[in-house]
Amino acid sequence: MATLNSSAYMDYRDAIHGLRLPLAFVDLDAFDANIAYVADTQKETGKFIRVASKSVRSITLLRRIFEKGGPAFKGILAFTVEEAAFLVENGFDDIIVAYPTVQPSDLELMVHMTRDGKRISLVIDSRRQLDLLAEYGRAAKVALGACLDIDMSWRPLGNLAHLGVRRSPIRQPDEAAALARYAADLPGVTLEAVMGYEAQVASVNDAVPGKRVMNALLRLVKRRSMHELISRRKRIVKALYAAGVDIRVINGGGSGSLVATARDPVVTEVTAGSAFFAPGLFRYFHDVRFQPAAFFALQIARIPTPGNDHLPGGGLHRFR
């Protein structure tokens, strides 16, 4: 659970007094503490931590994570291919692009980065996506990297209940192996990584103040979901190895499941992004505790009635 005490609020208020609003700022002491904490979650597991740049939209802060975090941090999970190219231009490498794309300009960028010796993989979950990657790879006489995205949602009642996000149509070992065998026959593309995001564990708060019963229920759901997906991910990875795939990365989880996902023995790395800022949506977790580090400030310009504040610049009304 993350908390912000009243004295910190007063310090922030005093620090920005007189500055033009709206503004945003990062408390680097809290940010650095989160870096150290995230690294510490994997001290016993030996897992690497891949940084989700979708959550950290600052080159300076991304560099700070790798500089302060040391060897525990390895690689970036990027949002788009264009962003990956921007990160490469700024000295970053070992990038997995977390969302598929079929845009010609993106695939051309994949070719350029691969030609330059950069380690970059694009998430795929279909034959059509593999076909396009292979087409561009063959034309350029390079092998473009692909990362197989696996659906890690939990379906305790089969198709009647779906807990998690709908990211990929690939869910079972035979489906993953079939796509892997298809990729193996395509010159111009190399399937080299696997990822699976268990959103129902990583992004659901389960230590919300005043929600004791709901918190207990959510933790039970998370435990049972992790039990199922650890077993299924193991069978998927086994099927991929049997299909002859040389996997260098098995990525899983997010900030809220740094501890839970790291217990999966087949996972080689976990992902963290929101952990470094601890925004409101990632504040109340039972297994992990981050310090709020990123803030924005707006002026209170109007109080039409007691307890009703208008904050221009952010489209916000605050009711106290």
- pLDDT, average across residues 299-305: 87
**Three-class secondary structure assignment of the chain:** CCCCCHHHHHHHHHHCCCCCCCEEEECHHHHHHHHHHHHHCCCCCCCEEEEECCCCCCHHHHHHHHHHHHHHEEEEEECCHHHHHHHHHCCCCCEEECCCCCCHHHHHHHHHHHHCCCCEEEEECCHHHHHHHHHHHHHHCCCEEEEEECCCCECCCHHHCCECCCCCCCCCHHHHHHHHHHHHCCCCEEEEEEEECCHHHHCCCCCCCCCHHHHHHHHHHHHHHHHHHHHHHHHHHHHHHHCCCCCCEEEECCHHHHHHHHCCCCCCEEEECHHHCCCHHHCCCCCCCCCCCEEEECCCCEEEECCEEEECCCCEEEEC
Query: What pLDDT, on the 0 to 100 scale, is given for residue 172?
Result: 97
Average pLDDT of the chain, as a whole number:
93
Query: What pLDDT, on the 0 to 100 scale, is given for residue 314?
Result: 64
pLDDT at 3 over 70: no
Query: What pLDDT, on the 0 to 100 scale, is given for residue 261?
Result: 97
- pLDDT, average across residues 190-217: 95
pLDDT digits over 156-183, tens only? Answer: 988 888 888 989 999 999 999 999 999 9
pLDDT at 318 over 70: no
Residue ranges per structural domain of the chain: 29-297
Query: What pLDDT, on the 0 to 100 scale, is given for residue 162?
Result: 87
Predicted structure pTM score: 0.92
**Fold classified for 29-297:** TIM Barrel (3.20.20)
- pLDDT, average across residues 195-211: 94
pLDDT at 319 over 80: no
Work out the pLDDT band at 308, boundaries 50, 70, 90: confident
Query: What pLDDT, on the 0 to 100 scale, is given for residue 9?
Result: 86
